[in-house]
Chain A
Amino acid sequence: MFELDFSVIVIPANSSLLWEGIKMTFLLAGLAIVGGLILGTFLALLRIAKIPILSQISAAYVNFFRSLPLILVIFWFFFLVPLIVGRPVGAFTSVLVAFILFEAAYYSEIIRAGINSVRLGQLAAARAIGLTYIQSMRYVVLPQAFRAMTPILLTQAIILFQDTALVYVVGLRDFLVSAEIIANRDQRLVEMFLFVALVYFVLCFTASMGVKYYQKRINNEL
Protein backbone atom coordinates (compact mmCIF):
# COMPACT_ATOMS: atom_id res chain seq x y z
CA MET A 1 0.00 0.00 0.00
CA PHE A 2 1.08 3.54 -0.61
CA GLU A 3 0.98 6.33 1.88
CA LEU A 4 -1.15 9.38 1.23
CA ASP A 5 0.70 12.68 1.40
CA PHE A 6 -1.52 15.69 1.03
CA SER A 7 1.28 18.15 1.65
CA VAL A 8 1.72 18.21 -2.13
CA ILE A 9 -1.22 20.61 -2.25
CA VAL A 10 0.36 23.27 -0.08
CA ILE A 11 3.72 23.49 -1.82
CA PRO A 12 3.65 27.14 -2.92
CA ALA A 13 4.14 26.45 -6.63
CA ASN A 14 1.34 23.89 -6.56
CA SER A 15 -1.09 25.87 -4.48
CA SER A 16 -0.73 28.89 -6.71
CA LEU A 17 -1.31 26.71 -9.78
CA LEU A 18 -4.45 25.29 -8.14
CA TRP A 19 -5.57 28.78 -7.19
CA GLU A 20 -5.20 29.95 -10.79
CA GLY A 21 -7.16 26.88 -11.84
CA ILE A 22 -10.07 27.47 -9.50
CA LYS A 23 -10.16 31.11 -10.53
CA MET A 24 -10.42 29.98 -14.16
CA THR A 25 -13.23 27.58 -13.27
CA PHE A 26 -15.16 30.33 -11.49
CA LEU A 27 -14.52 32.86 -14.25
CA LEU A 28 -15.70 30.48 -16.93
CA ALA A 29 -18.77 29.37 -14.96
CA GLY A 30 -19.62 32.96 -14.00
CA LEU A 31 -19.39 34.36 -17.51
CA ALA A 32 -21.22 31.36 -18.96
CA ILE A 33 -24.05 31.77 -16.43
CA VAL A 34 -24.43 35.49 -17.12
CA GLY A 35 -24.18 35.06 -20.90
CA GLY A 36 -26.47 32.04 -20.85
CA LEU A 37 -29.07 33.90 -18.80
CA ILE A 38 -29.09 36.90 -21.13
CA LEU A 39 -29.31 34.80 -24.28
CA GLY A 40 -31.74 32.41 -22.58
CA THR A 41 -34.07 35.27 -21.59
CA PHE A 42 -33.95 36.58 -25.12
CA LEU A 43 -34.75 33.13 -26.53
CA ALA A 44 -37.61 32.69 -24.06
CA LEU A 45 -39.09 36.06 -25.04
CA LEU A 46 -38.85 35.13 -28.72
CA ARG A 47 -40.48 31.81 -27.94
CA ILE A 48 -43.52 33.33 -26.25
CA ALA A 49 -43.84 36.24 -28.70
CA LYS A 50 -46.86 35.89 -30.93
CA ILE A 51 -44.74 36.02 -34.08
CA PRO A 52 -44.69 32.45 -35.45
CA ILE A 53 -41.36 32.62 -37.30
CA LEU A 54 -39.48 33.98 -34.26
CA SER A 55 -40.91 31.44 -31.85
CA GLN A 56 -40.14 28.66 -34.33
CA ILE A 57 -36.53 29.78 -34.65
CA SER A 58 -36.20 29.88 -30.88
CA ALA A 59 -37.81 26.46 -30.50
CA ALA A 60 -35.52 24.99 -33.15
CA TYR A 61 -32.47 26.45 -31.41
CA VAL A 62 -33.48 25.00 -28.06
CA ASN A 63 -34.30 21.57 -29.46
CA PHE A 64 -31.05 21.50 -31.39
CA PHE A 65 -28.74 22.22 -28.47
CA ARG A 66 -30.68 20.07 -26.04
CA SER A 67 -30.20 17.13 -28.36
CA LEU A 68 -26.41 17.34 -28.42
CA PRO A 69 -23.89 16.23 -25.81
CA LEU A 70 -22.15 19.23 -24.26
CA ILE A 71 -18.72 17.77 -24.87
CA LEU A 72 -19.44 17.63 -28.58
CA VAL A 73 -20.49 21.29 -28.60
CA ILE A 74 -17.24 22.20 -26.83
CA PHE A 75 -15.23 20.30 -29.42
CA TRP A 76 -17.13 21.80 -32.23
CA PHE A 77 -16.60 25.38 -31.21
CA PHE A 78 -12.97 24.76 -30.43
CA PHE A 79 -12.44 23.85 -34.09
CA LEU A 80 -15.22 25.89 -35.66
CA VAL A 81 -14.88 29.36 -34.16
CA PRO A 82 -11.29 29.86 -35.42
CA LEU A 83 -12.45 28.81 -38.88
CA ILE A 84 -15.31 31.31 -38.82
CA VAL A 85 -13.32 34.29 -37.54
CA GLY A 86 -10.26 33.29 -39.55
CA ARG A 87 -7.75 33.36 -36.73
CA PRO A 88 -7.08 31.38 -33.57
CA VAL A 89 -9.27 32.62 -30.73
CA GLY A 90 -7.87 30.58 -27.87
CA ALA A 91 -9.39 27.79 -25.89
CA PHE A 92 -11.05 30.12 -23.38
CA THR A 93 -13.08 32.12 -25.90
CA SER A 94 -14.24 29.12 -27.87
CA VAL A 95 -15.20 27.23 -24.73
CA LEU A 96 -17.03 30.25 -23.35
CA VAL A 97 -19.02 30.64 -26.57
CA ALA A 98 -19.89 26.95 -26.48
CA PHE A 99 -21.06 27.10 -22.87
CA ILE A 100 -23.15 30.24 -23.38
CA LEU A 101 -24.86 28.89 -26.49
CA PHE A 102 -25.44 25.50 -24.89
CA GLU A 103 -26.64 26.71 -21.50
CA ALA A 104 -28.91 29.34 -23.06
CA ALA A 105 -31.03 26.52 -24.46
CA TYR A 106 -31.58 25.12 -20.96
CA TYR A 107 -32.03 28.51 -19.31
CA SER A 108 -34.56 29.59 -21.92
CA GLU A 109 -36.78 26.61 -21.12
CA ILE A 110 -36.61 27.39 -17.41
CA ILE A 111 -37.32 31.06 -18.05
CA ARG A 112 -40.19 30.26 -20.38
CA ALA A 113 -41.79 28.09 -17.71
CA GLY A 114 -41.25 30.93 -15.21
CA ILE A 115 -42.92 33.47 -17.47
CA ASN A 116 -45.84 31.12 -18.07
CA SER A 117 -46.25 30.78 -14.31
CA VAL A 118 -47.08 34.49 -14.04
CA ARG A 119 -50.83 35.02 -14.33
CA LEU A 120 -51.99 36.42 -17.68
CA GLY A 121 -53.94 39.09 -15.83
CA GLN A 122 -50.65 40.63 -14.73
CA LEU A 123 -49.70 41.37 -18.32
CA ALA A 124 -53.19 42.73 -18.98
CA ALA A 125 -52.97 45.00 -15.92
CA ALA A 126 -49.56 46.27 -16.98
CA ARG A 127 -50.76 46.95 -20.51
CA ALA A 128 -53.91 48.59 -19.14
CA ILE A 129 -51.93 51.34 -17.43
CA GLY A 130 -50.23 52.09 -20.72
CA LEU A 131 -46.95 50.22 -20.39
CA THR A 132 -45.62 48.86 -23.68
CA TYR A 133 -45.19 45.11 -24.12
CA ILE A 134 -41.48 45.39 -23.40
CA GLN A 135 -42.01 47.60 -20.34
CA SER A 136 -44.66 45.20 -19.06
CA MET A 137 -42.22 42.32 -19.37
CA ARG A 138 -39.36 44.31 -17.85
CA TYR A 139 -41.17 45.75 -14.82
CA VAL A 140 -44.04 43.36 -14.15
CA VAL A 141 -43.76 39.89 -15.65
CA LEU A 142 -40.04 39.09 -15.63
CA PRO A 143 -39.34 40.15 -12.02
CA GLN A 144 -42.09 37.77 -10.86
CA ALA A 145 -40.97 35.06 -13.24
CA PHE A 146 -37.34 35.25 -12.09
CA ARG A 147 -38.40 35.12 -8.49
CA ALA A 148 -40.37 31.96 -9.06
CA MET A 149 -37.64 30.28 -11.07
CA THR A 150 -34.55 31.37 -9.13
CA PRO A 151 -34.14 28.01 -7.36
CA ILE A 152 -34.22 26.11 -10.67
CA LEU A 153 -31.88 28.61 -12.32
CA LEU A 154 -29.43 28.26 -9.43
CA THR A 155 -29.58 24.48 -9.63
CA GLN A 156 -28.82 24.72 -13.35
CA ALA A 157 -25.93 27.06 -12.47
CA ILE A 158 -24.50 24.44 -10.12
CA ILE A 159 -24.72 21.84 -12.88
CA LEU A 160 -22.93 24.24 -15.21
CA PHE A 161 -20.22 24.78 -12.62
CA GLN A 162 -19.59 21.03 -12.58
CA ASP A 163 -19.80 20.81 -16.36
CA THR A 164 -16.98 23.33 -16.78
CA ALA A 165 -14.63 20.44 -15.90
CA LEU A 166 -15.29 19.23 -19.45
CA VAL A 167 -12.89 21.90 -20.72
CA TYR A 168 -10.33 19.20 -19.94
CA VAL A 169 -10.83 18.02 -23.52
CA VAL A 170 -9.42 21.23 -25.00
CA GLY A 171 -6.71 21.57 -22.37
CA LEU A 172 -7.91 24.81 -20.81
CA ARG A 173 -6.27 25.13 -17.40
CA ASP A 174 -9.22 25.03 -15.06
CA PHE A 175 -9.16 23.58 -11.56
CA LEU A 176 -9.27 19.95 -12.69
CA VAL A 177 -6.57 20.36 -15.34
CA SER A 178 -4.28 22.20 -12.89
CA ALA A 179 -4.72 19.41 -10.38
CA GLU A 180 -3.98 16.83 -13.03
CA ILE A 181 -0.75 18.59 -13.99
CA ILE A 182 0.42 18.43 -10.38
CA ALA A 183 -0.82 14.87 -9.99
CA ASN A 184 1.26 13.67 -12.91
CA ARG A 185 4.31 15.76 -12.20
CA ASP A 186 4.55 14.91 -8.50
CA GLN A 187 3.13 11.41 -8.84
CA ARG A 188 0.30 12.18 -6.41
CA LEU A 189 -2.73 11.11 -8.44
CA VAL A 190 -4.82 9.74 -5.59
CA GLU A 191 -4.25 12.76 -3.35
CA MET A 192 -4.89 15.32 -6.06
CA PHE A 193 -8.05 13.71 -7.41
CA LEU A 194 -9.37 13.19 -3.88
CA PHE A 195 -8.68 16.82 -3.19
CA VAL A 196 -10.42 17.97 -6.40
CA ALA A 197 -13.43 15.81 -5.61
CA LEU A 198 -13.62 17.23 -2.12
CA VAL A 199 -13.47 20.83 -3.33
CA TYR A 200 -16.17 20.27 -5.97
CA PHE A 201 -18.31 18.45 -3.43
CA VAL A 202 -18.03 21.09 -0.74
CA LEU A 203 -18.74 23.94 -3.15
CA CYS A 204 -21.66 22.32 -4.92
CA PHE A 205 -23.19 20.72 -1.83
CA THR A 206 -23.08 24.00 0.08
CA ALA A 207 -24.58 25.83 -2.87
CA SER A 208 -27.41 23.35 -3.29
CA MET A 209 -28.15 23.50 0.44
CA GLY A 210 -28.35 27.27 0.00
CA VAL A 211 -30.79 26.85 -2.88
CA LYS A 212 -32.96 24.54 -0.77
CA TYR A 213 -33.05 27.07 2.04
CA TYR A 214 -33.91 29.86 -0.37
CA GLN A 215 -36.67 27.81 -1.98
CA LYS A 216 -38.21 27.13 1.41
CA ARG A 217 -38.20 30.83 2.13
CA ILE A 218 -39.98 31.80 -1.09
CA ASN A 219 -42.50 28.99 -0.69
CA ASN A 220 -43.40 30.41 2.68
CA GLU A 221 -43.85 33.87 1.22
CA LEU A 222 -45.98 32.89 -1.77
Chain B
Amino acid sequence: MNYEKSNMMIKVKSVNKWYGKIQVLNDCSLNVSKGEVIVVCGPSGSGKSSLIKTINGLEPVNSGEIIVSGISVTDKSTNLDQMRSKIGMVFQNFELFPHMNVTENIKLGQTKVLRRTNEEAEQKAQALLERVDLTEHAHKYPSQLSGGQQQRVAIARGLAMEPMAMLFDEPTSALDPEMINEVLDVMVKLAKEGMTMMVVTHEMGFARKVADRVVFMDYGKIIEDAPSQDFFGSPRSDRAQEFLSKVLNH
Protein backbone atom coordinates (compact mmCIF):
# COMPACT_ATOMS: atom_id res chain seq x y z
CA MET B 1 0.00 0.00 0.00
CA ASN B 2 1.29 3.43 -0.82
CA TYR B 3 0.49 6.32 1.43
CA GLU B 4 1.48 9.83 0.78
CA LYS B 5 3.82 11.00 3.46
CA SER B 6 1.64 13.90 4.54
CA ASN B 7 -1.31 11.58 4.83
CA MET B 8 0.36 9.15 7.17
CA MET B 9 -0.88 9.44 10.74
CA ILE B 10 0.36 6.33 12.53
CA LYS B 11 3.16 4.09 11.36
CA VAL B 12 4.07 0.99 13.33
CA LYS B 13 7.21 -0.73 12.06
CA SER B 14 8.39 -4.19 13.17
CA VAL B 15 7.45 -3.71 16.80
CA ASN B 16 8.34 -6.38 19.34
CA LYS B 17 7.42 -6.38 22.99
CA TRP B 18 8.02 -8.83 25.80
CA TYR B 19 6.59 -9.10 29.29
CA GLY B 20 9.41 -11.04 30.87
CA LYS B 21 9.66 -14.19 28.77
CA ILE B 22 6.28 -13.81 27.11
CA GLN B 23 6.28 -12.09 23.75
CA VAL B 24 3.11 -9.98 23.53
CA LEU B 25 3.89 -8.25 20.24
CA ASN B 26 5.66 -10.14 17.51
CA ASP B 27 6.97 -8.13 14.58
CA CYS B 28 3.87 -5.96 14.24
CA SER B 29 3.67 -3.47 11.40
CA LEU B 30 0.73 -1.27 10.60
CA ASN B 31 -0.09 1.98 8.85
CA VAL B 32 -2.99 4.29 9.53
CA SER B 33 -3.55 7.26 7.29
CA LYS B 34 -5.31 10.43 8.20
CA GLY B 35 -9.06 10.03 8.57
CA GLU B 36 -8.91 6.25 8.52
CA VAL B 37 -10.81 4.10 10.99
CA ILE B 38 -9.02 0.87 11.89
CA VAL B 39 -10.62 -1.84 13.98
CA VAL B 40 -8.25 -4.22 15.75
CA CYS B 41 -9.76 -7.52 16.83
CA GLY B 42 -8.64 -10.90 17.98
CA PRO B 43 -8.99 -13.29 20.91
CA SER B 44 -8.14 -12.06 24.37
CA GLY B 45 -4.45 -12.10 25.08
CA SER B 46 -3.65 -11.64 21.40
CA GLY B 47 -1.80 -8.40 22.08
CA LYS B 48 -4.31 -5.92 20.69
CA SER B 49 -4.49 -3.81 23.85
CA SER B 50 -0.71 -3.83 24.15
CA LEU B 51 -0.41 -2.70 20.56
CA ILE B 52 -2.74 0.26 21.00
CA LYS B 53 -1.00 1.30 24.22
CA THR B 54 2.38 1.38 22.53
CA ILE B 55 1.11 3.94 20.04
CA ASN B 56 0.93 6.75 22.59
CA GLY B 57 3.88 5.37 24.52
CA LEU B 58 1.90 4.19 27.53
CA GLU B 59 3.61 0.84 27.01
CA PRO B 60 7.24 0.85 25.94
CA VAL B 61 8.39 -1.47 23.17
CA ASN B 62 11.53 -3.61 23.10
CA SER B 63 12.29 -3.03 19.46
CA GLY B 64 10.82 -1.49 16.34
CA GLU B 65 9.61 1.98 15.60
CA ILE B 66 6.36 3.88 16.01
CA ILE B 67 5.82 7.20 14.30
CA VAL B 68 2.76 9.36 14.88
CA SER B 69 2.29 12.32 12.58
CA GLY B 70 5.97 12.37 11.72
CA ILE B 71 7.17 12.21 15.34
CA SER B 72 8.82 9.09 16.67
CA VAL B 73 7.18 7.72 19.81
CA THR B 74 9.94 5.17 20.28
CA ASP B 75 12.75 7.73 20.11
CA LYS B 76 13.90 8.45 23.65
CA SER B 77 14.43 12.14 22.96
CA THR B 78 10.75 12.69 22.08
CA ASN B 79 8.69 14.58 24.63
CA LEU B 80 6.09 11.89 25.20
CA ASP B 81 3.87 14.06 27.40
CA GLN B 82 3.41 16.55 24.59
CA MET B 83 2.92 13.73 22.11
CA ARG B 84 0.21 12.08 24.23
CA SER B 85 -1.78 15.28 24.54
CA LYS B 86 -2.32 15.08 20.77
CA ILE B 87 -3.61 11.51 20.84
CA GLY B 88 -6.87 10.85 22.63
CA MET B 89 -7.29 7.59 24.45
CA VAL B 90 -10.40 5.87 25.75
CA PHE B 91 -10.05 2.95 28.15
CA GLN B 92 -12.08 -0.16 28.81
CA ASN B 93 -12.83 0.91 32.38
CA PHE B 94 -13.44 4.59 31.49
CA GLU B 95 -10.88 5.77 34.06
CA LEU B 96 -12.65 9.03 34.73
CA PHE B 97 -11.16 10.83 37.71
CA PRO B 98 -13.60 9.97 40.52
CA HIS B 99 -12.76 12.99 42.70
CA MET B 100 -13.70 15.46 39.97
CA ASN B 101 -17.07 16.18 38.45
CA VAL B 102 -17.76 15.65 34.77
CA THR B 103 -16.81 19.18 33.74
CA GLU B 104 -13.61 19.14 35.81
CA ASN B 105 -12.66 15.83 34.20
CA ILE B 106 -12.90 17.43 30.78
CA LYS B 107 -11.13 20.60 31.89
CA LEU B 108 -8.06 19.12 33.60
CA GLY B 109 -5.96 18.42 30.51
CA GLN B 110 -7.06 21.63 28.84
CA THR B 111 -5.94 23.86 31.71
CA LYS B 112 -2.85 21.94 32.83
CA VAL B 113 -1.47 20.74 29.49
CA LEU B 114 -2.85 23.12 26.86
CA ARG B 115 -2.80 26.06 29.30
CA ARG B 116 -6.25 27.21 28.31
CA THR B 117 -7.93 29.66 30.65
CA ASN B 118 -10.65 28.39 32.92
CA GLU B 119 -13.34 30.08 30.79
CA GLU B 120 -12.04 28.60 27.53
CA ALA B 121 -11.85 25.14 29.08
CA GLU B 122 -15.34 25.49 30.54
CA GLN B 123 -16.79 26.52 27.19
CA LYS B 124 -15.06 23.67 25.40
CA ALA B 125 -16.32 21.23 28.05
CA GLN B 126 -19.88 22.43 27.62
CA ALA B 127 -19.70 22.18 23.83
CA LEU B 128 -18.34 18.64 24.07
CA LEU B 129 -20.94 17.58 26.61
CA GLU B 130 -23.58 18.77 24.20
CA ARG B 131 -21.94 16.72 21.48
CA VAL B 132 -22.06 13.53 23.56
CA ASP B 133 -25.54 14.44 24.78
CA LEU B 134 -24.72 14.82 28.48
CA THR B 135 -25.29 18.52 29.10
CA GLU B 136 -27.56 17.91 32.08
CA HIS B 137 -24.88 15.83 33.84
CA ALA B 138 -22.14 18.47 33.72
CA HIS B 139 -21.86 18.78 37.50
CA LYS B 140 -22.33 15.18 38.49
CA TYR B 141 -19.53 12.94 39.69
CA PRO B 142 -18.56 9.84 37.69
CA SER B 143 -20.01 7.50 40.33
CA GLN B 144 -23.43 9.08 39.72
CA LEU B 145 -23.42 8.14 36.03
CA SER B 146 -24.12 4.89 34.20
CA GLY B 147 -21.26 3.10 32.45
CA GLY B 148 -22.37 4.32 29.05
CA GLN B 149 -22.54 7.90 30.27
CA GLN B 150 -19.12 7.61 31.87
CA GLN B 151 -17.60 6.32 28.67
CA ARG B 152 -19.13 9.20 26.71
CA VAL B 153 -17.58 11.62 29.20
CA ALA B 154 -14.25 9.83 28.70
CA ILE B 155 -14.57 10.36 24.94
CA ALA B 156 -15.33 14.04 25.54
CA ARG B 157 -12.29 14.28 27.81
CA GLY B 158 -10.13 12.92 24.99
CA LEU B 159 -11.67 15.20 22.38
CA ALA B 160 -11.13 18.26 24.57
CA MET B 161 -7.45 18.09 23.71
CA GLU B 162 -8.34 18.38 20.01
CA PRO B 163 -6.37 15.25 19.21
CA MET B 164 -5.20 14.32 15.74
CA ALA B 165 -6.16 10.70 16.40
CA MET B 166 -8.21 8.75 18.91
CA LEU B 167 -7.34 5.36 20.34
CA PHE B 168 -10.08 3.19 21.82
CA ASP B 169 -9.12 0.21 23.97
CA GLU B 170 -12.19 -2.05 24.15
CA PRO B 171 -14.46 0.92 24.85
CA THR B 172 -17.65 -1.11 25.18
CA SER B 173 -16.55 -4.39 26.73
CA ALA B 174 -17.16 -3.25 30.32
CA LEU B 175 -20.66 -2.00 29.49
CA ASP B 176 -24.05 -3.57 29.99
CA PRO B 177 -25.51 -4.51 26.59
CA GLU B 178 -28.16 -1.78 26.64
CA MET B 179 -25.48 0.90 26.98
CA ILE B 180 -23.19 -0.25 24.21
CA ASN B 181 -25.07 1.53 21.46
CA GLU B 182 -25.03 4.99 23.03
CA VAL B 183 -21.23 4.78 23.08
CA LEU B 184 -20.94 3.29 19.60
CA ASP B 185 -23.23 6.01 18.25
CA VAL B 186 -20.83 8.67 19.47
CA MET B 187 -17.94 6.79 17.91
CA VAL B 188 -19.73 6.38 14.58
CA LYS B 189 -20.44 10.11 14.55
CA LEU B 190 -16.79 10.80 15.25
CA ALA B 191 -15.67 8.48 12.46
CA LYS B 192 -18.01 10.14 9.99
CA GLU B 193 -16.59 13.53 10.91
CA GLY B 194 -13.23 12.30 9.69
CA MET B 195 -11.43 11.53 12.95
CA THR B 196 -8.52 9.15 12.61
CA MET B 197 -9.39 6.23 14.88
CA MET B 198 -7.87 3.01 16.00
CA VAL B 199 -10.38 0.87 17.86
CA VAL B 200 -9.75 -2.38 19.71
CA THR B 201 -13.18 -3.98 19.87
CA HIS B 202 -15.24 -7.11 19.33
CA GLU B 203 -18.16 -5.05 18.04
CA MET B 204 -18.18 -6.37 14.51
CA GLY B 205 -21.30 -4.39 13.66
CA PHE B 206 -19.34 -1.23 14.35
CA ALA B 207 -16.41 -2.54 12.31
CA ARG B 208 -18.63 -3.33 9.36
CA LYS B 209 -20.33 0.05 9.53
CA VAL B 210 -17.39 2.42 9.84
CA ALA B 211 -14.05 0.65 9.69
CA ASP B 212 -11.92 1.20 6.64
CA ARG B 213 -9.71 -1.69 7.60
CA VAL B 214 -9.83 -4.56 10.05
CA VAL B 215 -6.69 -5.87 11.67
CA PHE B 216 -6.84 -9.34 13.16
CA MET B 217 -4.28 -10.33 15.77
CA ASP B 218 -3.42 -13.63 17.41
CA TYR B 219 -0.49 -14.57 19.67
CA GLY B 220 0.99 -11.08 19.35
CA LYS B 221 1.08 -11.23 15.57
CA ILE B 222 -0.90 -9.31 13.01
CA ILE B 223 -2.45 -12.15 11.03
CA GLU B 224 -4.65 -10.11 8.74
CA ASP B 225 -4.84 -6.47 7.77
CA ALA B 226 -7.56 -6.06 5.18
CA PRO B 227 -10.17 -3.58 3.99
CA SER B 228 -13.27 -4.34 6.04
CA GLN B 229 -15.45 -5.57 3.18
CA ASP B 230 -12.72 -8.07 2.27
CA PHE B 231 -12.27 -9.12 5.87
CA PHE B 232 -15.94 -9.77 6.44
CA GLY B 233 -16.40 -11.19 2.96
CA SER B 234 -13.68 -13.79 3.10
CA PRO B 235 -11.05 -13.61 5.79
CA ARG B 236 -7.95 -15.23 4.44
CA SER B 237 -6.70 -16.98 7.56
CA ASP B 238 -8.35 -19.91 9.31
CA ARG B 239 -7.82 -18.25 12.68
CA ALA B 240 -9.71 -15.14 11.60
CA GLN B 241 -12.52 -17.25 10.16
CA GLU B 242 -12.80 -19.18 13.37
CA PHE B 243 -12.75 -15.98 15.40
CA LEU B 244 -15.39 -14.34 13.23
CA SER B 245 -17.69 -17.33 13.46
CA LYS B 246 -17.49 -17.03 17.24
CA VAL B 247 -18.14 -13.31 17.52
CA LEU B 248 -20.73 -13.06 14.75
CA ASN B 249 -22.94 -16.01 15.65
CA HIS B 250 -24.29 -15.03 19.02
Contacts and interface: CB of A to CB of B under 8 A. Distances in A.
Interface of A: 119, 121-122, 124-132, 135, 139-140, 143-144, 147, 221
26 contacts: A119-B93, A121-B91, A125-B89, A125-B95, A125-B154, A127-B58, A127-B84, A128-B56, A128-B58, A128-B89, A128-B91, A129-B84, A129-B85, A129-B88, A129-B157, A130-B81, A130-B85, A130-B109, A131-B108, A131-B112, A131-B113, A135-B112, A139-B97, A139-B108, A139-B112, A143-B99
A144 B99 contact: yes
A129 B87 CA distance: 8
Contacts of B158: 128-129
B95 A130 contact: no
Contacts, number: 68
The majority secondary structure among interface residues of chain A is helix
Contacts of B81: 127, 130-132
Nearest to B161: A129
B97 A130 contact: no
Contacts of A131: 81, 108-109, 112-113
Contacts of B97: 122, 125-126, 139-140, 144
- Most chain B C-beta atoms within 10 Å of own C-beta, residue among A119, A127, A130: A130
B69 to A, nearest CB: 14
Nearest to A132: B81
Contacts of A129: 84-85, 88-89, 108-109, 113, 157-158, 161
A143 B108 CA distance: 14
Contacts of B93: 119, 121
Given A125-B89, A130-B84, A130-B85, 7 more contacts: A124-B58, A125-B91, A128-B58, A129-B89, A129-B109, A139-B97, A144-B98
Nearest to A124: B58
B108 A122 contact: no
Nearest to B56: A128
Interface string B46-89: 00000001001010000000000000000000000111111111
Contacts of B114: 130
Interface of B: 53, 56, 58, 81-89, 91, 93, 95-99, 108-109, 112-114, 143, 154, 157-158, 161
Top 6 closest A-B pairs, CB basis?
A130-B85, A125-B95, A129-B109, A128-B89, A130-B113, A121-B95
B84 A124 contact: no
B157 to A, nearest CB: 7
Contacts of A139: 97, 108, 112
Contacts of B53: 124
B108 A128 contact: no
A198 to B, nearest CB: 39
Contacts of A132: 81
A217 to B, nearest CB: 15
Nearest to B82: A130
A42 to B, nearest CB: 21
Contacts of A143: 99
Nearest to B87: A128
B219 to A, nearest CB: 24
A119 B174 CA distance: 16
A89 to B, nearest CB: 41
Nearest to B109: A129
A147 B100 CA distance: 13
Contacts of A128: 56, 58, 84, 87-89, 91, 158
Contacts of A127: 58, 81, 84
Contacts of A130: 81-86, 109, 113-114, 161
A112 to B, nearest CB: 19
A130 to B, nearest CB: 3
Given A129-B109, A129-B158, A131-B109, A124 B85 contact: no
Contacts of A125: 89, 91, 95-97, 154
Q: Which residue, A125, A128, A143, has most C-beta atoms of chain B within 10 A?
A: A128
Contacts of B85: 129-130
Nearest to A141: B97
A178 B100 CA distance: 47
B125 to A, nearest CB: 13
A121 B92 CA distance: 10
